[in-house]
Chain A
Amino acid sequence: MRIINDSNWQDVLRPPNTDDGRPEVMPRITRCGSPEAIRMGLMPISERPDLLIPESEWKERIAEANAERTMPYHHWQDAGCVKKSQNGYGYCWAYGLTSAVEMGRLGEAQPYTRLAPNSLGWLVNWRNAGYYCDRAIAGAKERGIASLEKAGGSDGVFNHSKFASDWEEDAKNYRPSEWFDTGGSQAEMARQCVSILLIGLPIYIAYNWWGHALMAGGIEYDESCLYNIRWLILNSHGDGWIKLEGNRGVPDEGYGIGSTTYYP
């Protein structure tokens, strides 16, 4: 598995694949814990202090989570999920969110359904354009994400005229309903994201240095890494799972899925 750290991070940078050349994901509109964010259903995890796992417990808890296979990375492996590829479009904001919803369903023991990130294209008027993670979440909560079967049949099809006629009805079956929000300093972000992953929830994340949105699905404990954490990230640039370490590993934005709609 590819490891990205503070010495090789530039290797993954590439120009945005958006038509207007702007970043594929832009910094969030709302602030964590603000009334606007809460109205979008983003509940700050910092308000659930018992959920925040102290760093002193991380080593033991991460070992336990990997032994019991509780994290989204484990669910992804067991369900036989398929890695996604943006196919040269600037929809990482939709791919990261879609992967998180898929993993949220697996966490609830719902079956794996491959969803179509491009069914969120209505948020950018079906253009090949970047977007905001928090607003994408609000859009997915409202209308859902269609299954790949109903929305083009393969990654990269974002022309909705090629979708099945009932794709919008189908999308309502795949809606994230509750979210944990993260915010604060890098150390606080690390602590909050580790805590979310340790309770088994996937995190829709974004990195400002990369201009990229992805899904965090696992962690390893390694005392040679910053905060002793190595992050397991699902990348939609075609290479599937990668590992991030150091300053490059801690997300700038992170949203943990609490629950999704029922559609077995």
Chain B
Amino acid sequence: MKAAFSIVLLAILLFAAMVSGATIEGPEEVDVGKPAWYKLTVAANEKAFFLPLPGSPISLDTRYIVPGSALFWAPSPGNYHVTAVCVAGDSWENAQFIPLSKTVLVKGVEPPPDPPQPDPPDPPNPGGKYQVSIFYETFQFDNMPRSQQVMLHSMEFRKQLKAAGHTLLGIYDIHILDGAGAIPPRLAPFVQAASGDSLPRICLAPKGGGTVKDFALPADSAATLELIRNGGL
């Protein structure tokens, strides 16, 4: 219905323009995203104004219309209509209003849609239950403080983690590989999170799944349990 209305309206405009001799001058093709100037040409006893046409694709931004000219710009390819109205006659009482239109083909490739925004990270969840993994570099053991060295292999620390409802996925060298010589798929998000940062690091992910967050390994087991208890806050 809307399309039929536009076609009838355009036909009327073309006919009217032929009667008055008023025209919209400017390029018939423009590249997408590139601005173009359009100018109204009228007879001595005529005035004309650019005017958006209802029911058709956006033609002109009224912010860019100056006397006699208008700036056209389209963000995506397709057919557009630059529209105006011509006022003909010697006086306002005898004025005729003649619609004008010019079809503009906007060429080019539609720009790709904006990439989807990543999901916002899970908010800290104090008291939540986590999958926990710790990564270190074997040959940098000597750079770790004694309390961290103790924590890495402490059965007491592991028991406390388990008692608090967390799951310890492991305590690994950052270069951990599986039997096929690849990064283990289950550990991959954790390894990725810990990689590139100063080691040792602790990674937390909600037990039910979610974003992996990584932190510098706290100084000792008490501070580490506190970090996990607070969900990394």
The reply to whether B150 and A43 form a contact with Cβ atoms under 8 Å apart is no
Query: Does B63 make an interface contact (CB < 8 A)?
Result: no
Closest to B169 in A: A109
- Is A26 an interface residue, CB under 8 A from the partner? no
CB < 8 Å neighbour of A51 from B142, B157, B158: B142
Do residues B153 and A262 form an inter-chain contact, with CB atoms below 8 A?
Answer: no
A-B contact count (CB 8 A): 91
The reply to whether A172 and B176 contact each other, CB–CB distance below 8 Å, is no
CB distance from B27 to the nearest CB of A (A): 64
B residues near A2, Cβ cutoff 8 Å: none
Report Cα–Cα, A69/B175, bound state, in Å. Answer: 26
Output the least CB separation between A251 and chain B (Å).
20
* Cα(A41)–Cα(B94), bound, Å: 101
**A75-B155 contact in complex given A68-B150, A264-B186, C-beta closer than 8 Å:** yes
- Within the assembled complex, what's the spacing in Å between the Cα atoms of A226 and B168? 38
- Given the complex of chains A and B, what is the CA–CA distance between A201 and B173 in angstroms? 13
- Binary A-proximity of B146-185 (CB < 8 A = 1, otherwise 0): 1001101111111000000000111111011111100010
Write the A244-258 contact mask toward B (1 if CB under 8 angstroms, else 0). Answer: 000000000000001
Q: How many residues of A contact B (CB 8 A)?
A: 38
The one of A68, A108, A110, A263 that contacts B154, using a Cβ cutoff of 8 Å:
A68
Q: Is B187 in contact with chain A by the CB < 8 A criterion?
A: yes
Kindly state whether residue A55 has any CB partner on chain B within 8 Å: no
A43-B139 contact given A144-B179, A264-B186, CB 8 Å threshold: yes
Q: 8 Å CB contacts to B: which residues of A169-201?
A: 169, 172-175, 177-178, 198-201
Which B residues form the contact surface with A (CB < 8 A)?
Answer: 138-139, 141-143, 146, 149-150, 152-158, 168-173, 175-180, 184, 186-187
Give the 7 A-B CB pairs with smallest separation, nearest first. A200-B153, A50-B142, A173-B179, A69-B155, A172-B179, A258-B138, A259-B173
17 chain-A/chain-B pairs, Cβ below 8 angstroms: A48-B141, A67-B156, A74-B155, A107-B152, A110-B170, A144-B179, A169-B179, A173-B179, A177-B173, A199-B141, A199-B149, A199-B153, A201-B153, A258-B138, A258-B173, A259-B138, A259-B175
